[in-house]
A and B are shown apart, each in its own frame.
Chain A
């Protein structure tokens, strides 16, 4: 046992040793604080076992911000290494690990949970529901995501990180990577993937079955629409990932021959299956981002979204096309001309619905009374920046031209222009926009603008030069280059930009603290003069049952319409009825813990541990089945409690 720990704990690298020590101190600090303030019970009852969609959403976002920090540090380490030629800051092996974890974390443990978190907080409110359709499952989703993320992140201090890129191509990830790193990748993603799949199912059912009276499909807010479409994509795409990861796990642990070089296996099959999931995954993260921008632009242009129906049609078109373009990720692998041509055409076809959306946003802005809040600034900056990402995407989508750009910095710049200008901007915009809904106060606008300018200028300074570096022939994933390559100046500029982004992020974190300390608490539920139902709650932070009376909806932009017509539900002299709510659940946390243990056991091929934990997982499932009727009974919020919550001042008056 002791030998096992000693062999795997990484102590020889000063950077990782420092991380080890800081992790130990952070954990001790958290445990001590919780114990000192006697908060363990609060943590368990109010958060860990909570099935409240708003709390689960906040936990997702918190986890995503921590992961953004980790992934950002990885990025800065890479930029530091590449700033000057022949740098020896990182070894090649360490560099490989860092670009692998950077990519994996940013996509799967940052972008996904951030967006899922916003969906959790906002969507049930936007459709006037009490909670999601399956609150118990929602808690399980979060914890299996969280334990998957923890398992993946553990690799870096215990046993070594995966080092085959976030795409984890065979044969590099099988024959080329002994050690537990790739196992961590496979099992961490597998476990968090379960959570994502369950969330997908949950949101499909929630949005289809739980809408308040009057919300027809064509009256749903755009963010709800994008969430619905995203959830459909998740349901079809994530099982592909599950199988793909399982196949490689079998190859590595049980001696099968799916992707091996010998005995009939085919490493190219990995690329094929990975991108069959991977491309829809890109749209899983970008579509909710589109939804967020749509909400914010409509709110701060004070106009109904222009071309609402064309937006929905283009969403549906994108979701369909997202499943038939995957080959464009490996045009250079040697496919026939017919194959590459077909996938080239489908790829370029995606530009059409996406272009429609750009015009929708521009049309919404046109003649609007635009108010440049921080959320709006992120959204407006998104349009031209994302356009650069999209147009370079069309360039890459041309199979013949792709042979020039493939795997060089042009590609790197392209997908950062889509993923940062699309997803990260949306996450920041959504965070600022819905912050009052989550925490009852606005983030400071002045500091927010500083963060915006640092981050968005830094972003362009960082990634515009990388297009040129790509043309100059700099390949991605190299850990250093020589002075004779002539890439030095642009790399220096790029690194400066990256640090600008880092500063922007730190300002956002500081803003959270500053706003908490000095910000004015919101008094109504309507922080921005909003248009959709989430702003119709009786208080800034909605009560746990969301709405005392389920609102009736008569048009798109339901709350705006209510305000115009003077039909905002009154809080005086109304009769309340008891509200049925789901009960908290502790089993999902325990079950996800078993998932973690099983995953860890498989990473190190400790079969006894994996088998015991699997038995534990099935035990939890059986327990859930046997006790679900009690769980489903839930509880009722009494009329007195509702009255007290809805009119806190009434009794005093």
Chain B
């Protein structure tokens, strides 16, 4: 039986301005091949990574936000967004992409990937993890 650990990737920074968000996504995509129990968390300015309608024309950089919508195909189905971080920035779930995954066990029913959690709930979820990578 191969080891399955709980991996959490914590995304804390805005999508552009620094390279952390992009290179975090690269780790998530590669890591998906390892069949671990993966979840993502978006806190602080990291919540901006999931906003819809991103347009990077003005900064000459690739808009990589469509990749988040593909995470379901990589069996990354648990995406935690911290409620307080959204509120502090005047955002709601409606400002974020609608991310879904297909549940093979339920005839490929489409399910929401994003789980809105409070800061306190996220602390408990973090506590359950084996490996936490922060970006």
Report if A and B associate in a common complex. no
Residues of B within 8 A of A (CB): none
Residues of A within 8 A of B (CB): none
